[in-house]
A and B are shown apart, each in its own frame.
Chain A
Amino acid sequence: MQIEIPLVIFTLFDGLAIGATAWAVAAEWLDWTGQTEPHRELAQWGAYLALVCLAIGLLASPFHLGRPLAMLNGLSNLGSSWIAREALFGLVYLALAAVYAGAWLLRRRVSLARGWRFVLANLAGLAALAMIISQAMIYTVVRTIPTWNNSLTLLFFGVSAALLGTLLVGSGLVVLEALTKSPADKTRLAALLPPVVRVGIWAVIGAILVGALQLVNIGATPSAAASSALRLLTGPLIGLVSLRFVVGMLVPLVLLGAAWVQARREPQRIGTWLIASFGCVLVGELAARALFFLSALHI
């Protein structure tokens, strides 16, 4: 199969959006359960970043269609088509993410009870969850492509979103901290980064495990298509495989490890490590998606 560039962009950006929304929901829950003020900033910037990324992803997606202008036809078969469900949940998610981000943006002009924002965040989170499950199921249920037709595909999309969203939100906070003038605000924002780093480390470890299991699974699948896929991955595509595992996983793990060590001494100085690891993860996740399509051999 060829690389579907619009689908690579779409899945990358909605992974970023879904991960950022997950952080916003987590921050809203911490806020709701009486945690301190800084978590609100996490929710607010998570909401903005998720909306922007989701909009980019959804804009890219119709370009893989033969008739992009007829894309709304793609909502017709919700009863059995995962693509139709993905499209529906994607649009619902976009609407909820827009309202939620709007609630943050206009919080000083529009009086909205705190509970409403909490509800909106959770609804957007549920739509994001439904969207990523539908997206993964599109590939998981394809019985003719052994490299996709297993539960690891679902894990791949989930872990990828967690990794991308975590480092996106972390990098966003670093930029925000750099732009902030008030020393008190700088300290408050810096205090948010160590938990992001910890989650990022776990997400990278998860991505390494899922990536390794995918390779093992392809090797163990008794099918000519899977054997050919393995030959591709260990032959002509070895460069992309290396990019995915070394640049996209091992280097970020080292960088995040360094950030974690640094966080104990000077938490305000871990921004560079976070942004560098985000850049590496972006490269790695692009490679992962390219491999996902290139190694998808039909039976």
Chain B
Amino acid sequence: MGKQYGMVIDLGVCVGCHACTIACKFENGTDLTIDWHRVETVGDPKAQVGQDIPKGIYPNLSLSWLPVPCQHCANPPCLAACPTGAISKRADGIVLIDQNRCIGCRYCSWVCPYHVPQFNAATGTTEKCTLCVHRVDQSLVPACVNACVYGARVFGDVNDPNSEAGKLIATRHAHVLAPEQETGPSVYYIDP
């Protein structure tokens, strides 16, 4: 397997502070209405979006958070579906949308199991997390990884068993989101 940049997120460490989302916004200058990165609350299913309400009855309560950046899939459904060829996958596994080629058909949003591509009405194109490719190219980690207060995220080549990320995947039984979709996500999660 070739290089595949991704990350491992320890959900037991994440406290849902949203620093990652804010760091992403600052780093990439995204529109106020668009989040390239989101943090979902895993708690009371009846809670409104943005409400951190635990599920269960005291003292058996549980509350955790699920940060969702682009999964930079090994088999990205968005890449195959895009009619313009605007979506590409680099040799290091990062999936990007060429804003000059995108026509804003939003089909990538339909086929993405992770609700990642976001339509920007101002530009008429769809955009998403780039894994901070401009930082990665300078041997820096993505802004969300850098900003994580509790060190819940480890960035690296998830296909390399000797990388820190690769070791965590193997030893902490990390899992991916929606494996039944067979997209081969490169973001792994360690359950709380």
Binding site for B on A (CB under 8 A): 64-68, 70-71, 73-77, 80-84, 87, 138, 141-145, 298-299
Contact = CB atoms under 8 A, between A and B. Distances in A.
Which of B105, B107, B113, B121: most chain A CB closer than 10 A?
Answer: B105
Contacts of B176: none
Contacts of B86: 73
Residue with the greatest number of chain A CB neighbours at <10 A, chosen from B103, B104, B126, B178: B103
Nearest to B113: A144
Contacts of B112: 144
Interface in B100-145: 101-107, 110-113, 115, 119-121, 123-126
Given A74-B83, A298-B110, 8 more contacts: A65-B103, A66-B104, A66-B120, A68-B103, A73-B101, A84-B84, A141-B111, A142-B110
Given A65-B124, A144-B113, A87 B83 contact: yes
Nearest to B182: A143
B61 interface: no
Given A66-B119, A80-B80, A299-B178, A145 B85 contact: no
Interface of B: 77, 79-86, 101-107, 110-113, 115, 119-121, 123-126, 178, 181
B75 to A, nearest CB: 11
B113 A81 contact: no
The B interface is mostly helix, strand or loop, or mixed, namely loop
Nearest to A72: B103
Given A67-B124, A142-B111, A77 B84 contact: yes
A259 B130 CA distance: 61
Contacts of B103: 65-68, 70-71, 73-74
A66 B124 contact: yes
Nearest to A81: B83
Contacts of B77: 143-144
Contacts, number: 81
B88 to A, nearest CB: 11
A74 B110 contact: no
A144 B111 contact: yes
B80 A81 contact: yes
B125 A66 contact: yes
B126 A66 contact: yes
- Top 5 closest A-B pairs, CB basis? A66-B104, A66-B124, A83-B83, A84-B83, A76-B85
Contacts of B126: 66
Contact of B123 (A66, A74, A84, A143): A66
Nearest to B80: A80
A65 B181 contact: no
Most buried by B among A65, A67, A83: A67
Contacts of B81: 80-83, 141
Contacts of A64: 105
A84 to B, nearest CB: 4
Contacts of A67: 102-104, 124-125
A114 to B, nearest CB: 39
A294 to B, nearest CB: 14
A187 B167 CA distance: 83
B85 A77 contact: yes
